[in-house]
Structures are given as structure tokens and as C-alpha cells.
Amino acid sequence: MFYDVLRCAHCGEAIGVYEPLVVVTDVLSRESSIASDPAVRDIHGEHYHRGCYETACDVALERSDARNADNRSPSCQ
């Protein structure tokens, strides 16, 4: 059977089973991969390639510098 492809919340590309990923929820961010921890795909949250997560946080921090602190992403602390 087919599983839903896990897609990166930053770039929209599929995240491979063996690729390092970061999952972000309201309460945590966690680095893992589907291969080492299949349960991560079922965590309700945003999934990122590890590299994309770092990029997304850089962007978020740049934006928050230009705006007020309320827009700071909670996932990038």
C-alpha cells in the first residue's frame, strides 16, 4: 500500500525515509528520520528537511527583526 508522502513545510518536496528531518509541534521540535523513528511521520506538526528547517528559522528570525517580536516563530528558539 502507499503511504502519504511526507512533505517539507518549507520547500514542499518529499522527505525521504532516510533523510534527516525536523518535526515541529506546538510544544517541541525534534530531529529524527522516518527510518530511525517511523512514528515521527504520525506526529501532528510541521515536518522539515533538516537543512530547510535551519533555512526557515534564519528567514523567520530575519523577518522578526524587521517586525515586532510577536511574529517570532515559536519553532525557532
Q: How far is the CB of 56 from Zn ion (least distance, A)?
A: 8
| Residue 12: all three cell numbers together | 514542499
Task: Establish if 57 lies at the interface with Zn ion (CB under 5 A).
Answer: no
Task: Establish if 47 lies at the interface with Zn ion (CB under 5 A).
Answer: no
Q: How far is the CB of 4 from Zn ion (least distance, A)?
A: 16
Q: How far is the CB of 59 from Zn ion (least distance, A)?
A: 13
8, 49 Cβ separation under 8 angstroms: yes
Task: Establish if 11 lies at the interface with Zn ion (CB under 5 A).
Answer: yes
Binding site for Zn ion (CB under 5 A): 8, 10-11, 49, 52
